[in-house]
Amino acid sequence: MGYLIMAGQLFLSLSILIVLHEMGHFFPARWFKTRVEKFYLFFDPWFSLFKIKKGETEYGIGWLPLGGYVKISGMIDESMDREQMAGPPQPWEFRSKPAWQRLIIMLGGVTVNFILGFFLYGMVLWTWGEEFLPTQNVKYGIAVSKLGEDMGLRDGDQVLAVNGRQLTEFGDNQVRREIVINNAKSLEIERDGQKMTLPIDPKFVQVLSSYASKDEGLYGVRMPFVIGRIAPKTPAADADFKLKDRIIGVNGQPTAYYHEFSKMVVPLKNKAIKVTVLRNQKDTVIVPVTTTAEGKIGVASYEPAYYFKIERKDYTLGQALPAGVVKGVAFLGDQVKAFGQMFKGKIKASESLGGFASIATMFGDVWDWERFWRMTAVLSLILAFMNLLPIPALDGGHVMFLLYEIISGRKPSDKFMEYATIVGFIIVIGLVLFANGLDIFRIFK
């Protein structure tokens, strides 16, 4: 069921983005009295799932969900309509229009995606606001993962800054970003009451950008384990656990914090264990219980908000829209820097790229509208950015040739554009196959 939910979210998100992107081409073409023969969601080689003709345009849904298109009369595109291009130019055709009009038509799709991405970022802020845990409120320090230990972090450290940049909000996302995108060289931490600088090995640029570590954080919040939920039909439900019991030990070994309990119990699969709890903040009770085959007992801690003061920031519509632009521009800046890191060889394309399966997992296996619209904003900006790459067959390739025409006054021949489009189409299909092939390889690895 979880996979269906992820696939459904990806399908809906891409459908919205594709239709709006193609509308960005469709309306400027109509404004400049250019004939649009087809408007399709998905591709329709050999047949379509649905089609209807209104006026001079056929609207339809194809069966191949790899994108969408508008077929504009007199334009060299993936349709490769050589018969139409062999005839004399007609007034309603794309090739008959001034270069500046053709440029606006070609830029329409990415313009819509940029605007949509910024708008959705803003609307998410306006609707849901932002909640965050201030770094200064994390009184127990961090709980370190194996990856964080390799970097030199230790349980209980306070992470204060990365490369001199103060961390006002708790979490490792900004630390990962600064290392991968900006080659951060050091972390400023506080350990046992002493402030110190922790150097970052350059190898962690590739380590943190690798597919293997994409779901492994550097650290999380270190917090006590007060039972906030006892799942029914689990070993804990049949044992003497009470809500608000604080777990402080397992088999006589102290576990003051949630992650310590988890590390100790998970390896003990199908084992009888003795859990020490502090009840009513004064009574120490030993609770016998048998773990499951997964090394669990069926209790969950309260959320961090139970232990720490969480800050919330709400936005008016007037505040949210410009804040959305700021967040969108920052995201695009990171994408440009990531490409730079890839070309320098510091990030491996085979490790950081992914296809539809990788994208689908980012939506999560529970339908969450806030996450859905945030992911749709991200995908909209990525779609705009990728479409602007100067590859023939993409919008950026057409824009590149149109700018050459405007500057030089010389229009590339139809035959040249035809060959360039074929080459570009092969490149694009190759990239799609490569990215999705990586997903398949990772599944069966």
What residue type is assigned to position 84 of the chain?
Q
439 plus 392 within the same structural domain: yes
pLDDT at 83: 63
pLDDT band of residue 277 (cuts 50, 70, 90) is very high
Mean pLDDT score, 14-18: 93
pLDDT at 86: 65
Residues β-bridged to residue 143? 220
Q: Which domain holds residue 236?
A: 227-302
Q: Are 56 and 35 in contact (CB under 8 A)?
A: yes
Q: Are 305 and 311 in contact (CB under 8 A)?
A: no
Q: Is the pLDDT of residue 80 over 60?
A: no
Mean pLDDT score, 303-307: 93
335 in a structural domain: no
149 plus 179 within the same structural domain: yes
Q: What angle do CA 269, 275, 280 make, to 5 degrees?
A: 145
What residue type is assigned to position 257 of the chain?
Y
Query: pLDDT tens digit string along 89-139?
Result: 788 888 889 989 999 999 999 999 999 999 999 999 999 999 999 999 999
387 plus 403 within the same structural domain: yes
pLDDT band of residue 414 (cuts 50, 70, 90) is confident
Query: pLDDT tens digit string along 132-174?
Result: 999 999 999 999 999 999 999 999 999 999 988 899 999 899 9
Per-position DSSP letters for 346-369, written without gaps between them: SS-HHHH---HHHHHHHH-SS--H
142 plus 234 within the same structural domain: no
pLDDT at 208: 86
71 in a structural domain: no
Query: pLDDT tens digit string along 21-73?
Result: 999 999 999 999 999 999 999 888 888 899 999 989 999 999 988 788 899 98
17 plus 102 within the same structural domain: yes
Q: How many separate domains does the chain show?
A: 3
Length of the chain: 445
Q: Which two tokens stand for residue 398?
A: 């057409």
14 plus 111 within the same structural domain: yes
Q: Are 402 and 390 in contact (CB under 8 A)?
A: no
- Looking at residue 134, the DSSP 8-state letter turns out to be B
330 in a structural domain: no
d(CA 5, CA 26): 31
- Looking at residue 226, the DSSP 8-state letter turns out to be B
Q: Is 428 helix (H, G, I), strand (E, B) or coil?
A: helix
Which of 396, 397, 400, 354 is closest to 379 using CA atoms? 354
pLDDT at 137: 93
d(CA 121, CA 129): 11
400 plus 415 within the same structural domain: yes
H-assigned helices in 213-257: 235-238
